[in-house]
């Protein structure tokens, strides 16, 4: 058997390693056409980010309002507050269903858990009697104001037809629920 001299072996190793390094570095380079396609398909513009944020935030606010309304239906001793909470829960469930449907069409996943509203839920669960009604009405009033503000801001920042239709359908209802909540709050004070 023939043996290879150490010098030839080390030269062979250097060429072999050099060939591997060249292959790896050339594999890392991306074709300019492929690079352009990737940037076009995965780029999000500011309007899309605003819409995604809108869907997620409105869904979280709705979930918070629904939870508060369900607690109010169980704990409130005032029939008027219970009826209001039922109407609010019904309207918010409709809105949440619509938001979920539209976000699914736009391939937006809504799965964030909003911890801001948990504090309100804890305060609500701990409250008793007339204090409960006051806390519920104030928390719901603030959440409805937040939701209205979201609707108004998205209507200024987007030209998406489906989102604008959603705003036109639900914004008047949110104002109506807010006015009714404020009226009942004034009566209970």
pLDDT in tens, 27-79: 555 555 555 555 444 445 788 888 888 888 899 899 999 999 999 999 888 89
Q: Is 1 part of any domain?
A: no
Lookup: tokens for 171: 């914004």
CATH number for the domain including 98? 1.20.1260.10
Residue pair 46/52 in contact by the 8 Å Cβ criterion: no
Owning domain of residue 31: 6-38
Lookup: tokens for 42: 């995965």
Neighbours of 70 (CB within 10 A): 14
Cα distances (Å, whole numbers) of residue 165 to 76, 97, 99, 159, 174: 35, 15, 12, 10, 14
Whether residue 148 sits in one domain with residue 68: yes
Would the pTM of this model clear 0.85, i.e. be above it? no
Whether residue 157 sits in one domain with residue 118: yes
Q: How many Å apart are CA 86 and CA 170, to the nearest integer? A: 17
Whether residue 73 sits in one domain with residue 165: yes
pLDDT in tens, 128-151: 877 888 989 999 999 999 999 999
What is residue 43's predicted lDDT score, i.e. its pLDDT? 45
Whether residue 30 sits in one domain with residue 61: no
Whether residue 176 sits in one domain with residue 126: yes
């Amino acid at each position: 058997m023939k043996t290879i001299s150490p010098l030839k072996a080390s030269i062979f190793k250097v060429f072999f390693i050099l060939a591997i390094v060249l292959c790896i570095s050339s594999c890392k380079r991306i074709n300019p056409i492929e690079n352009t396609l990737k940037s076009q398909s995965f780029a999000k513009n500011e309007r899309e980010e605003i819409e995604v944020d809108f869907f997620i935030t409105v869904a979280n606010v709705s979930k918070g309002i629904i939870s508060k309304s369900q607690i109010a239906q169980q704990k409130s001793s005032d029939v008027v507050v219970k009826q209001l909470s039922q109407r609010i829960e019904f309207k918010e469930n409709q809105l949440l269903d619509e938001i979920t449907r539209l976000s699914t069409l736009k391939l937006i996943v809504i799965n964030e858990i909003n911890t801001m509203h948990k504090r309100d839920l804890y305060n609500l669960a701990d409250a008793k009697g007339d204090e409960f009604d006051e806390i519920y009405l104030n928390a719901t009033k603030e959440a409805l104001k937040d939701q209205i503000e979201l609707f108004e801001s998205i209507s200024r920042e987007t030209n998406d037809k489906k989102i604008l239709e959603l705003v036109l359908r639900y914004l008047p209802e949110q104002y109506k629920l807010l006015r009714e909540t404020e009226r009942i709050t004034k009566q209970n004070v």
